[in-house]
Amino acid sequence: MATDGKTKKARRLALITGASGGIGEAFAGILAEEGWDLVLVARNEDELRRVAGVLQAATDTTAHVLPFDLAQAGAGGKLIKALQRRGWMPEVLINNAGFGLNGRAMELDVDRQLRMIDLNVRTLTELSLRLLPQMIARGAGGVLNVASTAGFMSGPHMAVYFATKAYVLHFSEALAEEARGSKVTVTALCPGPVKTGFQETAGMSDGLLMKLMPAARAKDVARAGWQGFKEGRAVVVPGAMNWLAAQMPRLLPRAVVRKANGWLFRPKKD
Ligand SMILES: NC(=O)c1ccc[n+]([C@@H]2O[C@H](COP(=O)([O-])OP(=O)(O)OC[C@H]3O[C@@H](n4cnc5c(N)ncnc54)[C@H](OP(=O)(O)O)[C@@H]3O)[C@@H](O)[C@H]2O)c1
């Protein structure tokens, strides 16, 4: 929380989902360094408090912690109400919380895959749509949605995950166009592999992809996304290899791309 020595002038507030680790924690660090106050959301309250504590010790940010399971029904609406009760109006929303699952879709747990859609798609959509009008009215800020290079193509063995990221990419791009001329930015950040807890959650830590593709650092990915957002870019694909991967569906027949991904994302046990 703000201490006596901290500046009293109105500070800008950013809401970051999935801020208890990985890319979300990296975003929190970058924005704190730039003088933003933060609302940090994820399920793990202890980890959120750890992140908030580190940032408040190192910068003059005020980092609020709101533990939420954003995959639960109505989570987006509940989070908006929690913000309103406290009088918090984020100028920037970073929809970063998300997860994937590796395996044949018809064999993976159906409920977990539906929760993935609720988190990666439904909550991201609700938060974007409910917060954008106040940003437009204010004439500043915007929404940075974390998509993936997966959003450019189909992904056998991560079928639902790739499809959710295609949604995030296309939804964000369309919103960016609708918001043009409003001084509000909407950006889709599309990373390739990044070294975070993502691979363990997805069950793909020792998969072929992680052996073949160099994984980026969360800090570098978040920095590229934040820089692109500040430049008003609709789509940010950090890294030359990832840019090339994103072009694959335009350069190669669709059947080749899906066969390549089916091979690349094949679970180790297959
Ligand atoms: N790592 C990659 O290779 C990669 C590549 C492209 C895109 N991405 C995308 O980047 C984003 C961040 O992932 P990451 O790589 O940083 O993975 P991560 O280290 O696993 O972080 C995921 C974050 O989302 C939160 N989260 C998960 N389920 C949640 C829920 N139900 N409610 C609220 N928060 C939840 C987690 O916190 P709690 O567990 O505390 O809830 C954590 O803070 C995701 O959208 C992912 O799809 C990752």
Sign, CA dihedral 43-46-52-55, equals: negative
Active site positions, annotated: 161
pLDDT for residue 11: 86
Q: Going by CA atoms, what residue is nearest to atom 25 of ligand 1?
A: 18
Q: Which atom of ligand 1 is nearest to the CA of 98?
A: 45
CB of 99 within 6 A of ligand 1: the answer is: yes
Q: Which of 197, 193, 196 lies closest to 215, judged by CA?
A: 193
Q: Which of 170, 225, 159 lies closest to 192, judged by CA?
A: 225
Q: Which atom of ligand 1 is nearest to the CA of 196?
A: 19
CB of 43 within 6 A of ligand 1: the answer is: yes
Amino acid at 102: N
pLDDT for residue 2: 36
User: Among 23, 69, 119, 265, which is best to mutate for testing ligand 1, by the most ligand atoms less than 8 A from CB?
Assistant: 23
3-state secondary structure of 216: strand
Q: Which atom of ligand 1 is nearest to the CA of 193?
A: 3
pTM: 0.96
CB of 146 within 6 A of ligand 1: the answer is: yes
Domains of the chain: 13-264 (3.40.50.720)
Residues of the chain under the 70 pLDDT cut: 1-10, 269-270
Burial class (CB in 10 A: 0-12, 13-18, 19+), 83: buried
Q: Going by CA atoms, what residue is nearest to atom 43 of ligand 1?
A: 18
CB of 67 within 6 A of ligand 1: the answer is: no
pLDDT for residue 4: 42
CB of 144 within 6 A of ligand 1: the answer is: no
pLDDT for residue 212: 86
Q: Going by CA atoms, what residue is nearest to atom 17 of ligand 1?
A: 198
Using CA atoms, how far residue 185 sits from 50, 91, 128, 177, 264, in Å, is: 30, 11, 12, 9, 34
CB of 145 within 6 A of ligand 1: the answer is: no
pLDDT for residue 10: 67
